[in-house]
Amino acid sequence: MIHYAPGYVGLAEIRQLVGSITGNEGLGNGLLPIDLQVLGKNFGAPIVLRIGPNSALLAAFLEVKLGMEVVSGAEEEDIAFNHWITLDKEIRDTRKNACAKAIIMAYLACNDFIQWAPQVPQVPQPIVWPPFSPTLQFHP
């Protein structure tokens, strides 16, 4: 399930956006093993999250896709939850769609619906024919 902390301005609207995209009133799926807590604390970045061992990967992905700072909050010890995302007040007011997308991605990531396979670029090697060797000599 996705749990939204009460009392933070804008979270109700963002929950509605998540619900319009995913259904179930933005609450996720009760059958998935890991719950996500959505908070509204300010940690000096628009979005801070901790979703497990792939927090840094998700933060980097969201930063590129959303075009804003997203921080992996692995060191935030004052949050009692293991899987959470927090959205600061300014981002909740100005970029509700980005917040909804970040929540959905965090929920999918903490429940292992995203496979973070390394993308190793395949660089084609030029084929040289005939093979060149300084000692190679052709005899008629």
The answer to whether residue 12 is domain-embedded is: yes
What's the domain range around 18?
A: 2-110
The answer to whether residue 51 is domain-embedded is: yes
The answer to whether residue 124 is domain-embedded is: no
**Domain total of the chain:** 1
The answer to whether residue 17 is domain-embedded is: yes
The answer to whether residue 132 is domain-embedded is: no
Q: How confident is the model at residue 121 (pLDDT cuts 50, 70, 90)?
A: low
The answer to whether residue 69 is domain-embedded is: yes
Cβ within 8 Å of residue 32, ≥6 positions away: 1, 107, 111
The answer to whether residue 6 is domain-embedded is: yes
pLDDT tens sequence across 27-69: 998 899 999 999 998 888 999 999 988 999 999 999 999 999 9
Q: In the chain, what percentage of residues exceed pLDDT 70?
A: 80
Q: Buried b vs exposed e over 126-135: b needs ≥16 C-beta within 10 Å?
A: eeeeeeeeee
The answer to whether residue 119 is domain-embedded is: no
pLDDT tens sequence across 13-31: 999 999 999 989 999 988 9
Is residue 14 a contact partner of residue 36, using CB atoms and an 8 Å limit? Answer: no
Is residue 55 a contact partner of residue 26, using CB atoms and an 8 Å limit? Answer: no
Which parts of the chain are beta strand (E)? 2-4, 36-39, 47-50, 70-72, 84-87
